């Protein structure tokens, strides 16, 4: 079956808010897409992109309702279908690929059983035919051992493979329309590139019409023919991908494009390295029982060596599981190393929190990734900021108020927010409070663990800008942990590349990024999507596995 054209008119989706009022979350939008075309829905969280994608299935999330408009797939009016026909449509003519493949598979069933499930439910083919077809899809999607991978269970394959298996699951019934909802967002860049390649090939070869939902413009540039830029449930701009990338008409699109390239706008402030602040010698960290030599059952970090001078910023880059967060936790004292030493300002730090001096606690502050979990939801912003002041400094009431106000100014938040609780703040505001709390201690070293990763592109870029500014104004040093090369390049002087718990490359930031020596670093940097069409095709396909690099 070939793709079918889709036409959306006046689509209105409403939701009931906490006050019981009905609010519009998708505001009468319309677009049309020819058969076989790929349309990207681009926008930040809350822009309505997933809601629109789901309504193409005639589905609204809990608490939401499709209140008006029409969705025509070929000759079918999706929104007017009775429940039974809607069920026939879903997973058969329209298929959906969700962001987290890990959460979409049943861990107790084999992969093959789940991949062919839709075909059997809709009775479009026999089990044998479906299994043969699935094996063909596995091959097309470049999965290893296509003949036998179906017999495995979800936990026995990697995240990138699972995402491709989900694509096979969606394509088994030859749908006319495929909806891909942030399908590579949860993947590491080196994995993402292979998954994108596989998706692109199957969608193109089959001529399926596809909707690609993403917040990442660089990924969209590889996948889509046309783009719809959304904000607050309204279309800001739509057009061909080239036009959007080269000549964006709407200011919102321009701000998205700008935020996608933070390192072209920002650069680390010039500093002269001061005295040594942090020194790590031959560090080994792990979990589990230790053997006779004191080596833990699972070693997460090994042979880590680093020096950080006062006022400098060191970026630690690596993929999930590389041990980069563990490094920050070891310095903070949350996990005790099994070997090696951490020196702070020429004095050895105790391996865990026990035995550290109040002054050491003050001078090393940790800033965590998740804006939601980093702030106690039952404390007001004022209380959150006051607590470190009371812990480390003896201030009288007026002095304390002045300092809190100063901190709010420093992170560019209005004073009116002081009485609020974290739940009433936006993600970016929460991350600013998170930073302000760390700065309240007047620290020498900030341990930043993926502080921009959970934020929308534009908000993340603003936080990054703030971090650069704080470096310049306060001279604070950073150990900046990230998986994103462009944020590291915008903030850090030096970079350290971690791969499977070991440092594979270390040096001045610009040098390492422009001229990577280790093959893993080359691959990591080469896998970051660029904001231009044809980048994906221009990348060589890596045939060797990542494990071979270790």
400 binds other proteins (CB under 8 A): no
Q: Which long-range contacts (CB under 8 A, 24 or more apart) does 78-85 make?
A: 79/55
Binding mask 10-49 for other proteins (x = CB under 8 A): ------x-x-x-----------------------------
Q: Whole-number minimum distance, CB 129 to other proteins, in Å? A: 19
Instruction: Please give the Cα distance from 32 to 440 (Å, whole number).
Output: 52
Among the residue ranges 79-87, 140-148, 468-476, 511-519, the one whose residues contact other proteins (CB under 8 A)? 79-87
Q: Nearest CA to 187 among 144, 216, 207? A: 216
At its nearest, how many Å lie between other proteins and the CB of residue 534?
A: 32
Among 33, 38, 44, 96, binds other proteins (CB under 8 A): 96
Q: Between residue 48 and residue 77, which ones bind other proteins under the rule CB under 8 A?
A: 54, 57-66
Query: Residue holding tokens 């269970």?
Result: 153
Tokens found for residue 403: 């300092």
Q: Tokens at residue 492, please? A: 């850090």
DSSP 62: T
According to CB under 8 A, which one of 36, 48, 91, 233 is a site residue for other proteins?
A: 91
Q: Is 304 in the site for other proteins (CB under 8 A)?
A: no
Q: Is 374 in the site for other proteins (CB under 8 A)?
A: yes
Contacting other proteins within 183-242 (CB under 8 A): none
Residue with tokens 């080196």: 190
- Determine, following the binding rule CB under 8 A, whether residue 351 of this chain makes contact with other proteins: no
Q: How big is the site for other proteins, counted in residues (CB under 8 A)? A: 56
**Least distance between other proteins and beta carbon 275 (Å):** 23
Pairing of strands 38-42, 64-73: unpaired
Report the residue number, 439 or 525, with the smaller CB distance to other proteins: 439
Rank residues 255 and 360 by Cβ distance to other proteins and give the closer one: 360
DSSP 261-279: -HHHH--PPP----SEEEE
- The C-alpha atoms of residue 425 and residue 420 are separated, in whole angstroms, by 8
Contact string (CB under 8 A) for other proteins, positions 107-146, x = contact: ----------xx--x-------------------------
The number of residues making up the chain comes to: 550
Q: Is 79 in the site for other proteins (CB under 8 A)?
A: yes
Which pair of tokens denotes residue 135?
């094996």
Torsional sign, CA 358, 361, 362, 363: positive
CB of 277 to other proteins, least distance (A): 17
User: Does 170 sit near other proteins (CB under 8 A)?
Assistant: yes
Please list the alpha-helical segments (H only) found in 411-514. 427-440, 457-474, 485-491, 509-514
Nearer to other proteins, 20 or 540 (CB): 20
Q: Are 430 and 371 in contact (CB under 8 A)?
A: yes
How far, in Å, CA of 316 to CA of 448, rounded? Answer: 10
Find the binder of other proteins among 39, 306, 375, 454 (CB under 8 A). Answer: 375
- Residue corresponding to tokens 């969280």: 45
Nearer to other proteins, 54 or 513 (CB): 54
270 binds other proteins (CB under 8 A): no
User: Judged by CB, which is closer to other proteins: 172, or 304?
Assistant: 172
User: Distances from the Cα of 493 to the Cαs of 28, 36, 280, 348, 419, in angstroms?
Assistant: 48, 46, 18, 25, 38
Residues near other proteins (CB under 8 A) are: 16, 18, 20, 54, 57-66, 79, 83, 86-87, 90-91, 94-96, 98, 104, 117-118, 121, 169-170, 332-334, 353, 356, 358, 361-362, 364-366, 368-370, 373-379, 387-388, 391, 437, 441
């Amino acid at each position: 079956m070939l793709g079918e054209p889709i036409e959306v008119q006046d689509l209105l989706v409403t939701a009931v808010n906490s006050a019981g009022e009905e609010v519009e979350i998708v505001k009468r939008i319309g677009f049309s897409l020819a058969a076989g075309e790929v349309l990207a829905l681009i926008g930040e969280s809350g822009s309505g992109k997933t809601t629109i994608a789901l309504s193409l299935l005639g589905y609204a999330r809990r608490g939401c309702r499709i209140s008006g408009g029409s969705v025509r797939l070929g000759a079918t009016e999706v929104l007017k279908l009775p429940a039974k026909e809607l069920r026939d449509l879903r997973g058969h003519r329209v298929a959906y690929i969700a962001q987290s493949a890990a959460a979409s598979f049943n861990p107790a069933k084999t992969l093959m059983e789940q991949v062919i499930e839709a075909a059997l439910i809709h009775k479009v083919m026999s089990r044998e035919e479906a299994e043969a077809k699935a094996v063909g899809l596995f091959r097309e999607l470049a999965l290893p051992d296509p003949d036998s991978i179906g017999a495995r269970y979800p936990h026995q394959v990697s995240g990138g493979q699972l995402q491709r298996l989900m694509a096979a699951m969606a394509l088994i019934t030859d749908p006319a329309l495929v909806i891909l909802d942030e399908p590579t967002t949860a993947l590491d860049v080196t994995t993402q590139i292979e998954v994108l390649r596989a998706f692109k090939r199957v969608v193109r070869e089959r001529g399926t019409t596809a909707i690609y939902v993403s917040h990442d413009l660089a990924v969209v540039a590889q996948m889509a023919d046309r783009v719809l830029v959304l904000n607050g449930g309204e279309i800001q701009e739509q057009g061909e991908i080239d036009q959007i990338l080269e000549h964006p008409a709407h200011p919102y699109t321009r701000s998205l494009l700008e935020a996608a390239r933070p390192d072209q706008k920002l650069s680390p402030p010039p500093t002269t390295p001061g005295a040594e602040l942090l020194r790590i010698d031959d560090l080994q960290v792990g979990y589990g029982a230790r053997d006779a030599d004191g080596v833990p059952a699972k070693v997460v970090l090994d042979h880590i060596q680093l020096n950080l001078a006062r006022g400098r910023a060191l970026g630690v880059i690596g993929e999930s599981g590389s041990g980069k967060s563990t490094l920050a936790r070891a310095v903070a004292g949350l996990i005790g190393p099994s070997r090696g030493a951490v020196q702070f300002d020429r004095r050895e730090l105790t391996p865990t929190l026990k035995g550290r001096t109040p002054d050491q606690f003050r001078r090393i502050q940790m800033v965590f990734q998740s804006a939601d979990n980093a702030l106690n939801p039952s404390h007001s912003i004022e209380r959150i900021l006051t607590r470190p002041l009371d812990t480390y400094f003896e201030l009288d009431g007026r002095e304390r108020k002045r300092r809190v106000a100063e901190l709010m100014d420093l992170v560019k938040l209005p004073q009116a927010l002081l009485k609020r609780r974290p739940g009433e703040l936006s993600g970016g505001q929460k991350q600013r409070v998170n930073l302000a709390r760390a700065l309240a201690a007047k620290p020498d070293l900030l341990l930043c663990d993926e502080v921009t990763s959970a934020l929308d592109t534009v908000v993340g870029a603003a936080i990054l800008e703030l971090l650069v500014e704080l470096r310049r104004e306060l001279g604070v040093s950073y150990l900046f942990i990230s998986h994103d090369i462009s944020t590291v390049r915008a903030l850090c002087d030096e970079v350290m590349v971690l791969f499977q718990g070991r440092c594979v490359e270390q040096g001045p930031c610009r040098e390492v990024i422009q001229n990577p020596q280790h093959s893993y670093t080359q691959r990591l940097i080469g896998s970051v999507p660029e904001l231009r069409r044809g980048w994906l095709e221009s990348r060589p396909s890596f045939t060797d596995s990542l494990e071979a690099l270790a």
